[in-house]
Structure 1
Amino acid sequence: MKSLKQSALVLAIAGLPLSGYAELKPLHDADMGQITGQAGVTIELETQVTMDEFTYTDEGTLGISDIFIGGADRIDMFEEFTSGRDAIFGTSSTDLIDNIKIELDVADDGDAIINVFPITARPVDFAVRTGAWELRGNGGESTLLADNFSAEGLILQAQATVDTDTDTLNLTTRFAIDELELDVPFMAVGIRDMRITGAGYDPDNPSLLPLFTLVDMDIYKDANAAGTDSLAIDINTFEADMSIGQVLVGGTSIGSVGLDDLAIRNTSMRVYGH
């Protein structure tokens, strides 16, 4: 039986066209050194997420309703960009988060590296919206904390790295918010036309890279003040300019607010149950 299989294999090879052999070339040692047999994984993504309600329950409950995460479906963000606008932001948009490429690699030292960036040379537009944020007691009590949250903006890049030497997840991203709005009914406060851009960004002389806010943080396990394990979050860098077009109190605008070159660094949090 073994002889029969070998004969069949020889006949199959002999039946290949000679042109097939003409393409076969020997590999030298130098060429072999370039072949690792390994490659990362690339994912091209488009998506939209909706949720009727998210709840967190302790003794009472916090509920967030009508959650939407998707594309902004806008091409008019950051209107101060006039020169070459179509090339920078594109000429169409949808309610999907799209134009995203995700690359996953495991380095030689075991570190996991995830890079997220646009497929084409333009930022990724996104929108996050929710309905009511409500506190609920078991006896029917409730407080409407927030409502009508909406944030629309652009993402230029994001990276997540798990370092096997330190067991630390590092997250970095560059994003910009063109419009953020929010109502806080139990305080009779509203926020309109809030913008978040990179520190030092000049809307009178717009440039793409300075538009984006840099966020760099580490997440890992560490002891809290009592010496027990907790979730550690260190904000290494957050640098931004912020502006609020209108602050509403009782439905009436009391003016605007601006924060120039806001920098948050060397900030540590330890999160744990009690």
Structure 2
Amino acid sequence: MSTLSVHSSRSTLAIACLAASSFSFPALADFTPLDDSTMASVTGQAGVSIELETRLSIDHLTWTDEGSLGVNGLRLSGHNDTVLDNLKLTIDIAGEGEVLPHGFSEIARRANAGQIDTSNPDVADALAKYSVAGDFGKQFNSGDLVIHLGATDYGDPTSLQDTLQAVDFELAIDSITTSGTDGTTNLFSDIHLQGYVGPTDLVIRNGGNSTRTLTNGNTVSGSELQLDTHFEVTNGNLNWDAADLIFIFNFAAVGIEGLQIHNRRGDDTLGHFGMAHATAKLSRGTGATSGKEGLSIHDVEFRADIDMPVFKVGGTSIGSVQFTDFVISDTTMLVYGH
């Protein structure tokens, strides 16, 4: 039997929201959504906005099977251990064909108003991509639950830098370990990342009881959680003690300093404003070969440039390492117990 335990030194709104969201997933098939007009009659407005500030810390998070995997000393905050703030969540239940904020639609809105120069290729791309039916965003179907994370205050409306750096974050983890009868092994240690969170969208598509078949033959539910996020890591350090990267590179005994993750080089920068980009979809799924039912994670894509200016092996620097146009795509996973 596997168990998961969390020991946290703080209770936060973020944990409560996460728990509430988690409890709702098994009931998706029986969920009857409210449209905007119904919601407006209850709340007096169509949709809800939440201005959020928080600081999250967890002393120990442990998954126990025959052995255990532990995340120790996790902290999520603003830069320099300040409060993570200037966050604004907009939550809407879409009507049929409704256009709601998504991605860089705020930049498209400002470009259309003449506040931002459209000679910038990224700005021009955003204006073309997010201009929909006389509004700015993405068009959704009736009953889709749309959560858009942006900033409360974007600063100077004519400044792209202010917009892209409106929400700063800092993530620190003391260690990630695995334990068993033979002792404890550090996988990673002294993780410390600083950067900026760009537009992030969570969409629960209202697909009812419909299903579809992926290219690998797996069957997945038409009601799915869709994640789309942009972010940038401007300075990061970590020790890669013993672990594999996507089952290809073993970086044991490696130390990385000055880590940067962005998208400013190569052939796929257009539309990303220099930020790394990740997307994924999650739903109930059934394996075509195994017949097992579990959590399907599909249509996964990650695009970034990665800079490691100080790359140490065994405590000694061997120079710098760069990845340009680092892309993970066409990736599907089915997760189930055994």
What is the TM-score when the length of structure 1 is the normalising length?
0.73
Q: Is contact 2:85–2:167 with CA below 8 Å preserved after alignment?
A: yes
**SS of residue matched to 1:211:** coil
Aligned to 2:261: 196
Superposed CA deviations along residues 20-47 of structure 1, whole A, max 9, x for unmatched, are: xxxxxxxxxxxxx9xx634211100000
Aligned to 2:178: 135
Residue 67 in structure 1 maps to residue 67 in structure 2 = no
Deviates more, 1:186-195 or 1:165-174: 186-195
**Aligned counterparts of 2:301 and 2:183: Cα–Cα separation in 1:** 40
Residue 232 in structure 1 maps to residue 273 in structure 2 = no
Aligned-pair identity (%): 31
* Deviation for aligned residue 1:236: 4.1
Residue 43 in structure 1 maps to residue 50 in structure 2 = yes
Q: Supply the RMSD in Å over aligned alpha carbons.
A: 2.5
Residue 148 in structure 1 maps to residue 190 in structure 2 = yes
Residue 52 in structure 1 maps to residue 59 in structure 2 = yes
**Aligned counterparts of 2:334 and 2:308: Cα–Cα separation in 1:** 30
Q: Is contact 1:199–1:261 with CA below 8 Å preserved after alignment?
A: no
Higher strand proportion, which one? 1
Superposed CA deviations along residues 186-220 of structure 1, whole A, max 9, x for unmatched, are: 53221111111025379xxxx99522112121111
**Aligned counterparts of 2:147 and 2:76: Cα–Cα separation in 1:** 21
Pick from 241, 263, 272: which aligns with 1:185? 241
**Aligned counterparts of 1:177 and 1:260: Cα–Cα separation in 2:** 15
**Aligned counterparts of 2:266 and 2:276: Cα–Cα separation in 1:** 9
* Runs of 4+ in structure 1 over 6 Å off: none
Superposed CA deviations along residues 216-261 of structure 1, whole A, max 9, x for unmatched, are: 2111111123112111112443211111111111100011111112
Superposed CA deviations along residues 140-194 of structure 1, whole A, max 9, x for unmatched, are: 6111222101111101210111111121111101101112211133532211111
What is the TM-score when the length of structure 2 is the normalising length?
0.60
Q: Is contact 1:169–1:219 with CA below 8 Å preserved after alignment?
A: yes
Letter in 1 for 2:304: A
CA gap of 1:220–1:43, structure 2 versus 1, over 3 A, is same
Once the two structures are superposed, the pairs formed by residues 1-274 of structure 1 within 5 Å of their partners are: 37=41, 38-73=45-80, 95-108=82-95, 109-121=142-154, 122=163, 123-137=166-180, 139=181, 141-165=183-207, 166-186=222-242, 187-198=252-263, 200=265, 210-224=273-287, 225-274=289-338
Letter in 2 for 1:234: H
Query: Where do 5+ consecutive residues of structure 1 fail to align?
Result: 1-32, 74-93
CA gap of 1:112–1:263, structure 2 versus 1, over 3 A, is same
**Aligned counterparts of 1:208 and 1:271: Cα–Cα separation in 2:** 32
**Aligned counterparts of 2:328 and 2:264: Cα–Cα separation in 1:** 11
**SS of residue matched to 1:158:** strand
CA gap of 1:208–1:164, structure 2 versus 1, over 3 A, is closer
CA gap of 1:200–1:210, structure 2 versus 1, over 3 A, is farther
Q: Which has the larger radius of gyration?
A: 1
Aligned length: 217
Query: Where do 5+ consecutive residues of structure 2 fail to align?
Result: 1-36, 96-141, 155-162, 208-221, 243-251
Q: Is contact 1:132–1:144 with CA below 8 Å preserved after alignment?
A: yes
CA gap of 1:112–1:208, structure 2 versus 1, over 3 A, is closer
Q: Is contact 1:152–1:177 with CA below 8 Å preserved after alignment?
A: yes
**SS of residue matched to 2:273:** helix
